[in-house]
Structure formats: C-alpha cells, structure tokens
Amino acid sequence: MLVSKLKEKWLTKDGKTVDLEKQARILRFLQRITPIITFLLFFAGTIWILVLPHEKYNKGTYISENALLPGQANVEYGYNDIRTAEDYVQKLIGIQDKDSETRAQFIHEEFRQSGFVSAIQRFDMDTIGHNTKGTNIFAIHKAPRSDGKEALILSASWISRTGEFNTNGIAALLSLAKLFKRNVYWAKDIILLITDQGKVGTQAWLNAYHGIDEKDEISAIVMPRSGAIQGVINLDFPGTQDYETLGIFFEGVNGQLPNLDLINTIVAVAERINPPISVTLHDDASYPFANHKYGTYFRSLFYMLQSMKYLVFGHPSSDAGLYLRYRIDAVTIYGIVGSTHLNNLFGFGRIGRLPDPAICKLVLKMRSNLDPGTIVSSCPSMHV
C-alpha cells in the first residue's frame, strides 16, 4: 500500500500526471542531438581561438599598472659593470667544470667580499627514478629602506636550458650584485640565487625557504631569509658569446601564469634600450610564414599555440615556472644565439640593463600596492 502511494506521488506533479512517454521522447531527442551540439560548440571554440591572435582582439604589450613606468628609471649599469661581468666570465670558465661544492664556495666568497649575507644550501632530493644531490648558493641584500617583509629574486642556474654552462647569466648576476650593493635607493630586499641541478635545485631552495622538510643541511629554522617573495627574474644566457634575440619563458606548473605586467615590463624595457633588443616568446626567434601577407597574424597564432603546448603538458617551461605554485610571479629571460641579424647582437652592455630597471619598477609596484594613494619612486627618475 505504501509503495503504491509513493509511486502515485512520484508520477504526479502539481496535481497532474506526468507523461512518462513524452519525457522519454524528449530524452531520446536530446541524446540524438548531443553529438551535434558537441561538434558545434567545439567548432565555435576553435574558431574563437583562431580569432584571438588577430590584432583587433589583443592589446599587445601594454602596462595596466600606473605605478609601472618602464623607461622612466635611470639605468645605473655602466662601463665598469660591463668590465666586471667580463672579468667574472674568465673566472667562471676556470671553475665551472669543477664539482658543485667548489663552484658554490667560489660564489660564496664573491658574495661575502661584496658585503652580502650569504649561505650555501646542500640538498639531497628524491626525484622520479633517481636521487639528486647538489649545492645552491644565495645571498640577501638587506635594503637600507626595507622593512624586510617583501623581497625580489634575481636568479641563475649553473646549467642553461641548452645544456651549456650559463656563464654569461651568472656573470651578469654577479656584476648586478655589486651594482645593487652600491646603490642605496632600494626599498625592498633582493635575493641573489644561483642554483645547481636545474629545476631540482630551484625546487630544493623553494622547499627550504618555505619551510618544507627535505633532506638538506639548512633547515627551515636556521635558513637565512627575507620576507615574502613577490617577483623573480631568472637569467639564462648560455656560453660566452653575444646574442641575437631575447626569449621570455613564463609558463608554470599545470598552466599557471605570472602577472602580465611582469612580462610587459621586461618587453617595454627591452624595446626602450638603445639600440633596442629584439624580443620573442620562448626560444623561437623565427616562425613560419614570416614573409606572408598576413605574417603578423600567423606570428601571433604561432606564439599562442606554443604557449598552449606548454600549458597542456603541465610542466614549467623554465626554472622560473616553479615559483608560480607559491603565488610568486616569475619569468626567465633567455639569450638566443643567431646569425640572421649580426648587426644587432647584444652582450653585457644590454643584458645588465634589463634586470636593473625591471627590478626597480617591480619595487615601485610593490610600494604602490601597499599604499595606492601615493606612488613614491624607489629609483632615479630618468629615462633608459
């Protein structure tokens, strides 16, 4: 009796009997048209993706933060800094083939002589299939006007993405370290980091800095640290030669992306350097259909598909991509060797002039975010 009453209740709606046969017909109709709807939605999505690279549907390089004024910072990186970087190249060539401990001790002494708080991190990490050991070295520049709550990172790895030694990248970092030390206008701490074993070393340092227990000699308690990391610029300039194009890698783990202003700031600074630096995404200095009538569209489409490839695979495109999982904006700037435009090659004279104003403007952005009503420059207000 109870079952019959429940069945009668389920078969009625608002006092009316539900037509089960009619519902079945509607359901069968929806099942028949579902593949068609799926195909139409897929087709519409594909068309929309192909429309996005068109110049009318993207803004290109632009700055959305009023506090960021690329090109308005005085570049302090000069002739003496270039000579310093070139001297470091010769020193690095002599020790880069040695073991990790010897290399770390050399960098450690250089940081100490420059007046930095420096430390060595020896790590032992279990990765997929094998165990990796290495030695990271980092220094912290305690800015005189800093409250110690926020910091930026300038980093480089011993090994470039090409498999070569990142000689020019580390030499540029060491020369910039001396520049940071002698200038007193910094309002945020700057961490100088040189990692071993590529992405494994970067991950080991991040684990230790954020207190994640791993098998390393610097625990979360005793590890020297600054404040919360807000931005990272990773230098990857393999070898000792000059470069034709500047590549930018920005994809993180599982499709994470940094704040667009960080990328646009670097692009804007590169374009304002005299002479300007040619900039591309990733390491593709050339692309198909460059001389085509619609070459601009195909170039944008090519770069978009390349970025989608990294996002789909879920792996970081560079060491900088590992920072994004900690909500830290990070990019890698990479020197691309070429022979197409030999009259536009660039070396330390322009490599050093990229991170200097970029970090300067990131400091300015961090300050303006804390106090939107006032924008107080932490950098000399002149042009690049």
CATH number at residue 314: 3.40.630.10
The pLDDT value recorded for residue 215 is: 56
The pLDDT value recorded for residue 28 is: 84
Q: Are 333 and 320 in contact (CB under 8 A)?
A: no
The answer to whether residue 373 sits within a structural domain is no
Residue whose C-alpha is closest to residue 359's, from 121, 173, 204, 197: 173
Q: Model confidence over 21-72: pLDDT tens digits?
A: 777 788 888 888 899 999 999 999 999 888 888 888 776 666 665 555 555 5
Question: Which residues, 6+ apart, have CB-to-CB distance to 220 below 8 Å?
Answer: 208, 210, 211, 212, 213
Tell me phi and psi for residue 160, to 5 degrees: -75, 170
Q: Which domain holds residue 241?
A: 66-365
Amino acid 175 reads S
The answer to whether residue 52 sits within a structural domain is no
Is 80 exceeded by the pLDDT of residue 220? Answer: no
308 vs 217, more confident: 308
The answer to whether residue 49 sits within a structural domain is no
382 vs 224, more confident: 224
Is 80 exceeded by the pLDDT of residue 136? Answer: yes
The pLDDT value recorded for residue 376 is: 36
The answer to whether residue 115 sits within a structural domain is yes
The pLDDT value recorded for residue 243 is: 93
Q: Are 273 and 203 in contact (CB under 8 A)?
A: no
The pLDDT value recorded for residue 366 is: 54
The pLDDT value recorded for residue 284 is: 77
The answer to whether residue 243 sits within a structural domain is yes
Residue whose C-alpha is closest to residue 150's, from 244, 53, 228: 228
Amino acid 346 reads F
* CA atoms of 367 and 188, how far apart (whole Å): 9
The answer to whether residue 248 sits within a structural domain is yes
Q: What is the mean pLDDT of residues 297-311?
A: 84
Which residue in this structure is represented by tokens 């009318």? 56
Burial class, 170, CB count within 10 angstroms (exposed 0-12 / middle 13-18 / buried 19+): buried
Here the tokens at position 260 are 């667009």
The answer to whether residue 46 sits within a structural domain is no
DSSP conformation letters of 210-223: TT---EESS-TTTS
The pLDDT value recorded for residue 314 is: 82
The pLDDT value recorded for residue 142 is: 86
The answer to whether residue 384 sits within a structural domain is no
Is 50 exceeded by the pLDDT of residue 375? Answer: no
Lowest mean pLDDT among 157-161, 217-221, 228-232, 324-328: 217-221
The pTM score is 0.81
3-state secondary structure of 115: coil
* Number of structural domains found in the chain: 1
Question: Which residues, 6+ apart, have CB-to-CB distance to 277 below 8 Å?
Answer: 245, 246, 270, 271, 346, 350, 354
Is 80 exceeded by the pLDDT of residue 135? Answer: yes
DSSP conformation letters of 305-350: HHHHHHHHHTS-SSGGGGGGGGT-EEEEEEEEP-SS-GGG-B-HHH
Q: Are 192 and 177 in contact (CB under 8 A)?
A: yes
